[in-house]
Amino acid sequence: MKELNSDEKFDFYLSEAKEKSITGWNFPYNKERYVTAPLTWSYKSIVLPYIRKAKSLLDMDTGGGELLSELIPLPGHTRATERYEPNLPIATKRLSPLGVKVFQYEKDDNLPFKDEEFELIINRHGSYSPKEIYRILEPEGYFVTQQVGRRNAALLRTLILGDEKHEWAEWYALSAVKELEEAGFLILENKEHYPLTRIFDIGALVYHLINIPWEVPGFSVKKHKAQLRHIHEIIEKQGYLDLYNHRFFIKAQKQT
């Protein structure tokens, strides 16, 4: 078999990545081609003890319901939200047998729930309104969130978009803590971390960007093909591209 040159590899990876699809938030195509170092905490370990004690639970931006389904047994009154249209039928199919209804919503400050409906609200990588969380949370209820911060994949956005600014530019643990405190929450714990992601081929990166379009706003393979070729050349030269993620988590309690 003839050895592929760099241009042939580039064309192959782009073509294949565009043909692949995902189910929920599972990314099998990228396995072992896109590796991220572990965080200094476990979101699952943090929320599990609270779930076991709670009588009511809301999982915000549940994706395809993958994580929530792993946290069984769930409280008797458990609900989930999801805004990303392709995930809704997947989450509904997975969570309905567990007694969990999935709600679609449009705005963070107008969730389809009653005042003080939940004892516990969890949120992994979803946007939220602190005031709306306060409204639907019981007095002394808990809110636990893990967020993607401003510095996440900053080098990637620079390589593709240049120095364009983004609306979530000030999203750090400190700014999120301040917002929650102003809304009436007591902050019980918060941490911040920047784990390394190593990408081994341009196809894995393109697949990621196609399926998570908000990572690089306005991205398209056609429009940014020159930038992708440049990244491909970096990977070909050193064997990988290193990016730094940005994560933080906050555990907060509603004060009355």
26-42 tens-digit pLDDT: 566 677 898 999 999 99
What CATH number does domain 6-254 carry, 3.40.50.150, 3.40.50.1260, 3.40.50.720, 3.40.50.10140? 3.40.50.150
DSSP 142-193: EEEEEEE-TTTTHHHHHHHH-S---TTTT-SHHHHHHHHHHHTEEEEEEEEE
Model confidence at 86, pLDDT cuts 50, 70, 90, reads confident
- What is the average per-residue pLDDT within 109-129? 97
Q: Does position 46 have pLDDT exceeding 60, yes or no?
A: yes
- What is the average per-residue pLDDT within 128-146? 98
pLDDT of residue 100: 98
Tokens of 69: 């389904």
201-249 tens-digit pLDDT: 999 999 889 888 778 888 999 999 999 999 999 999 999 999 999 999 9
- What is the average per-residue pLDDT within 173-187? 98
The neighbour count for residue 55, using CB atoms within 10 Å, is: 12
Q: Does position 106 have pLDDT exceeding 70, yes or no?
A: yes
Q: What is the mean pLDDT of the chain?
A: 92
**pTM of the shown model:** 0.87
Least confident piece of the model among 34-48, 77-91, 156-170, 238-252: 156-170
The neighbour count for residue 42, using CB atoms within 10 Å, is: 12
Q: Does position 141 have pLDDT exceeding 70, yes or no?
A: yes
Q: Which of 228, 176, 170, 217 is nearest to 11 (CA)?
A: 228
Q: Does position 25 have pLDDT exceeding 80, yes or no?
A: no
